[in-house]
Amino acid sequence: MKIVFHPEFYRVYTSDPAAEAGRMEAIVQELRDYEFLKPERAKEEDVLLVHTKMHYEYVKSDEDVFEVAMLAVGGAILASEISFKEPAFALIRPPGHHASPDSSWGFCYFNNIAIAVKKLLAGKRIEKAAIVDFDLHYGDGTANVFRWDPKVKYHHMSGANIEGVVEFLEKSEYDIIAVSAGFDKHKEDWGGILETEDYRELGKIFKEFSERRGVGRFAVLEGGYNHRVLGKNVRAFVKGFE
């Protein structure tokens, strides 16, 4: 199990809750016993697998955001590549699942997980993928990217419906499991729904289906804003996922 992280993700690049000081530190502290790997910045051609040139240029116009956003995409790509050998968790920011091809909102700029999956498809590394999102919020950007793509199935976990995740993975066909891992559904976060142990259970489900099907698995950080519990929730997920 590898953790993909770069010290640049500590940088406060804007004023939104995803970019707050102390957020990444809370997670790193809990995962310090894992091996960390540094990603490189993504290339423009990677981003353009999903986003329009106009949107790319729009994000590029804010230098502070652009630099860390490109590194976040690179982190998701590296995690996806590692997944062919072992599980990986991309501890990255900004998040990405609200980024559509030509727009973004909700603290997102580029759709990290969508770009990583698209790159695997373009490189013929996989033929089909399953993306599961357990963030509090529906990943409208990811859904928009793959709405008409029969090679990629997207599932957002509604409420605490973990059984729905199991049903989705049972009925879908995929060569990789990609997870948008948002932790803002926790009892002490914005959603007020899940227990810490629920994240461990979700990790175990992805591990079970990945191993049963003989496919890789990787996850990328999306939401999660209560620093007091965020690190513990991420660790619970990673322990189940590894």
Kindly report, residue by residue over 34-89, the tens digit of the pLDDT: 999 999 999 999 999 999 999 999 999 999 999 999 999 999 999 999 999 999 99
Tokens coding 163? 């059984």
What is the pLDDT, as a whole number, of residue 99?
A: 98
What is the pLDDT, as a whole number, of residue 68?
A: 98
Buried b (16+ CB within 10 A) or exposed e, 97-122: bbbbbebbebbbbbbbbbbbbbbbbe
pTM: 0.98
Is the bond leading into 7 cis (omega within 30 degrees of zero)?
Answer: no
Residue ranges, the chain, pLDDT below 70: none
SS3 (DSSP) at 4: strand
Is residue 51 among the annotated active site residues? no
Share of the chain above pLDDT 90, in %: 100
What is the pLDDT, as a whole number, of residue 50?
A: 98
Which domains are delineated in the chain? 2-241 (3.40.800.20)
Q: For residue 19, give every residue at least 6 positions away whose Cβ sits within 8 Å of its Cβ, in sequence order, or none.
A: 12, 13, 93, 94, 107
Question: Which one of the listed residues 55, 98, 137, 156 is annotated catalytic?
Answer: 98
What is the pLDDT, as a whole number, of residue 139?
A: 98
Positions of E strands within the chain: 2-4, 35-37, 88-90, 99-100, 103-104, 129-133, 152-156, 176-181, 216-221
Q: Provide the greatest CA pair distance for the chain.
A: 45
DSSP 186: B
What is the pLDDT, as a whole number, of residue 106?
A: 98
SS3 (DSSP) at 194: strand
What is the pLDDT, as a whole number, of residue 101?
A: 98
What is the pLDDT, as a whole number, of residue 60?
A: 98
What is the pLDDT, as a whole number, of residue 167?
A: 98
Q: For residue 158, give every residue at least 6 positions away whose Cβ sits within 8 Å of its Cβ, in sequence order, or none.
A: 164
